[in-house]
Chain A
Amino acid sequence: MRFAGLIAGLALSVFSAGALAQIKLDFNRLIDTAKNLREATKEIDEQQEAEIGREYAAVLVGAAPLVADDELQRYVNRVGRWLSLHSERPDLNWQFGVIDSDNVNAFATPGGYVLMTKGLLARLKNEAELAGVLAHEIAHVVRKHHLTAMRKGKGLEAGANILSEYLAQRGGSAVAKERLVGGMKEVMLRGLDKDDEFEADRMGVVIAARAGYDPFGLPAVLQMLQSLNPKDSALALMFATHPDPNSRLDTLEHAMGARLDRFGSQPQAAERYASFVRGR
């Protein structure tokens, strides 16, 4: 234990040597930085994760409000909550929402928040496709991909500082909160790691299959996306923050092979989807 501490100390002092030159012998800041890095790289507990995710989601619904249709929102929540029960984190406080934007996009935030645009919902053919989209987002939450992306934000040091500052002050400081929101926006605009997107695709099809859906809903959505005009402004942000749909299809096809074929006859639930989305 003491030995491990010593190693950690050595690692920190190596880090410090680099930082020292940069901050011109400002010892207090140096110590803070080292401490923050250590804080932020250790595991964030579930409550802290939910807090960060709530701030994150507040920004998204600040950019586009929820569609004012409780029945539709409840429907998407039921599909999403059912899917979440087939993930490794069934007990998070999962919340799903459709936001009033004609753009085509979906977002997850830490702790179990999943938001998709009305524009994407309107382009889906059935519930299995909806399940594919939601399961992809659920996978991001399960694997904490956003926290990883935030830590990498603006270089490791700054990303770590933003998270630890916020956590240390339990959201009490307006400055810390603002910096956190800035870090989140950066991730929303820059997107997640490419490999994390591919991983969410691979996990998404399996979560959908576990929940009893035709797992080919997500590939069908990707196929629909690759057929859209990438110059359409409604797609700009989604295309800028995700690998292109063709490479996602190729990667997913490679991973799926024939492994999920036997679940291909599970429901697509096109009629139920139509009654909640199209027929309204």
Chain B
Amino acid sequence: MKMLAAAFALALAAASAFAQETGYAVRQTEVKKEPFTDARTVGTLEERAQLKVLSRQGGWVQVESGALSGWVRMLSIRTNSGQASVVSGLKSLFNVARSGSSGTTVTTGVRGLDKEQIQNAKPNPEELRKLAALAVTKPDAERWAAGSPPLKNQAVEYLPAPSGAQR
């Protein structure tokens, strides 16, 4: 019971996952008032400037760095490691939920999928049948996409390969 309460507390922490993320600018970067290229510039982050990540919208992230706050291009920053508490919180929540739904009380151990396990793996036709049974049809996927939030078809061309690449 105590563990379940802890799991819920972690779930709440996870809901505000962004609030705990920190990062740094990988290059000198203009900070915009809003997440648009033509929005007003409210300041500049120097390369390696430390920041807090508050949220993301499309290709923009909302950041705070000292007294400066606003939006920068997502790919002009990198996030720091050290989200470990959020990650393991999610993981244990996941594990508790799993064992809860199966009616057992034992939490799931850490299961890897490393070199050795792949090397020693034997084909499992039973799991493969389960996988096939879980597949959904085209019309099912289309009905589902009309749900909430609705997903709308867009015509978008593939991106050209940057010059120098093979394709």
Contact = CB atoms under 8 A, between A and B. Distances in A.
Interface in B93-140: 93-94, 97-98, 101-102, 108, 110-115, 117-125, 127-128, 130-132, 134-138, 140
Interface stretch (A14-22, A23-31, A115-123): A115-123
Contacts of B131: 57, 61, 66, 95, 97, 113
Contact of B148 (A65, A100, A255, A272): A272
A198 B123 contact: no
B1 interface: no
Contact of A214 (B58, B125, B155, B166): B58
Interface string A221-251: 0011011110001101100100000100101
A59 B113 contact: no
B64 to A, nearest CB: 17
Interface residues of B, number: 79
A110 B107 CA distance: 34
B125 to A, nearest CB: 6
Instruction: Give the dominant DSSP class at A's interface.
Output: helix
B159 interface: yes
B33 interface: no
B110 to A, nearest CB: 5
B74 interface: yes
Given A103-B114, A254-B162, A123 B90 contact: yes
28 contacts: A59-B121, A61-B127, A62-B123, A64-B111, A77-B135, A100-B108, A101-B112, A117-B113, A122-B87, A122-B93, A206-B156, A206-B159, A210-B156, A211-B153, A219-B59, A226-B79, A227-B83, A228-B81, A234-B110, A237-B113, A237-B118, A249-B75, A255-B162, A261-B37, A265-B58, A266-B151, A272-B148, A274-B15
